[in-house]
A and B are shown apart, each in its own frame.
Chain A
Amino acid sequence: MQTVEQLLGESPALEGLAPEHRATMAGCARLHVFPAGERLLREGDPADEFFLIRRGAVAVETEVPGRGAVTLETLEPGELLGWSWLVPPYRSAFGARALEDVHVIVLDGACLRGKCEQDPDLGYALLKVVATVFVRRLEDTRLRLLDLYAGVPHAG
């Protein structure tokens, strides 16, 4: 049976984080399983927690009147879900739903923010790791914005 700290060490999303920072983070972490269909995040709710997915897929979604819940992206094991805990007003911009049984490491956002204020080294290290996630998501999103697969009618 592995400890939360060991599991944090296995998470690809936290790759490069020094062992001592992982140990500090473990103090704000716990394990949880979301059954299929259950919400991990609700749009507009206080974003107290974020998640490192260990098993299962999660749909990041938003409510569109007339279309219901529209999936924006599917996140999978190894990925980080939730970043609103980092920036005021600390409210989830989007929702997230378990597409199957999802095993996660739940991280307490408020707890971690407190620890980062006290330990800037931890803060910087964590920000670097999270920034990598943001950059990758933004690159992917920009690619989708190009709508490359759309057929463009042309003359002749």
Chain B
Amino acid sequence: MTAIIDRAGLDELIGALRRRGFTVIGPTVRSQAIVYGEIASAGDLPAGVEDVQDGGTYRLRAREDGALFAHTAGHDSVKRFLFPPAIQVWRARRGQDGGLEVEPPPPPPRYAFLGVRSCDLHAVAIQDRVFLGDRYVDPDYEARREDAFFVAVNCARAGGTCFCVSMDAGPEVTAGHDLALTELIDGDGHRFLVEAGSERGRELLAELPARPTAADEPRLAAEQTARTAASMGRRLDTEGIRDLLAANAEHPRWDDVAERCLSCGNCTMVCPTCFCSTAEDTIDLAGEEAEHTRLWDSCFTLQHSYVHGGSVRGATRARYRQWLTHKLGTWIDQFGSSGCVGCGRCITWCPVAIDITEEVAAIRAGDLREGLDADG
């Protein structure tokens, strides 16, 4: 089911979601970047803002047409709400009989996400596989994910570091959405082509002040998305990548990247699929009640691989190798798909502009297995 709504219709959409009890999360401008935040109306969305991204560079720039979704991936993603940086896992106290009393945390809010791109929808599906689809189900993720509503957006332009096409993760929204919008701005006005992707989406769309699509509008939308696909900022060759990385643990490129990498962990924080965490227990002053918290962690920390008085991955070289090999290689062994969606955030937000597409290309170029073949 497709239809056209205008900006007023978009306002209505947000209102309808709020009336359904959702906290609506959408892109906002904060500290000169696009950041997901709670929005109350279409007026909270960044109008006439686009981004300029490259390795280690992110800037916002004004545009004349008042487009609401001309920006691409900011540093954060839906991950911050479905897999928050810090959550309480349980509260525990010493009971009257001296035993342990454990309480579950309060239920999380119900979120509706507006403006999610295809890459991030794929990232949600990837995290679903980690937290819901494997041997153990994470109850917090399950609770947050259960009702989550997705109003996705087909990207009108590609970000400077995007390579979702290489990862089969976009730019066209094809699955995981309740509604998908394509923003159209031309002589016929500023409007949104809306496509329903679920029963819930259809119900909501039916409530909005919408009109049927004009004859050329679906084509205009499709062409816009196709132009985005044709103008990706980066490319990553995924051919045999799992075996490539498994066989090149001693490739000299790891030493090369280690000289540049600060192991700051920015890439893991901005990546929409990174899921590493740690747990902390804190107790009140009376020593009676404790809170067990799950916190974001990064494989770039020394603590991550700490065992028997030292870190298994002490060198930066080993930690960078772990991150890239996991993201693009062993993730496939573990979860049946790549862990990367080609959003380009790790390239943009790396302070020294390390580019994983470049690193993979370098490893491929000097594939250690080739040397063996050459010698026969």
Contact = CB atoms under 8 A, between A and B. Distances in A.
Interface residues of B, number: 4
B309 interface: yes
7 contacts: A152-B308, A152-B309, A152-B310, A153-B309, A154-B306, A154-B308, A154-B309
Interface string B285-326: 000000000000000000000101110000000000000000
Contacts of A152: 308-310
A154 B308 CA distance: 7
Nearest to A152: B309
A39 B311 CA distance: 47
A152 B310 CA distance: 9
Chain A interface size band reads under 10
SS class, residues of chain A in contact with chain B: loop
Contacts of B310: 152
B307 to A, nearest CB: 9
Interface string A115-152: 00000000000000000000000000000000000001
B50 to A, nearest CB: 46
Contacts of B309: 152-154
A153 B310 CA distance: 10
Nearest to B307: A154
User: Nearest 3 A-B pairs (CB), nearest first?
Assistant: A152-B309, A154-B309, A152-B308
Contacts of A153: 309
A153 B308 CA distance: 8
A149 to B, nearest CB: 11
Interface string B125-144: 00000000000000000000
A154 B306 CA distance: 9
A109 B143 CA distance: 80
Nearest to B280: A156
A57 to B, nearest CB: 33
Contacts of A154: 306, 308-309
A150 to B, nearest CB: 9
Nearest to B309: A152
B280 to A, nearest CB: 9
A154 B310 CA distance: 8
A153 B309 CA distance: 6
A153 B306 CA distance: 12
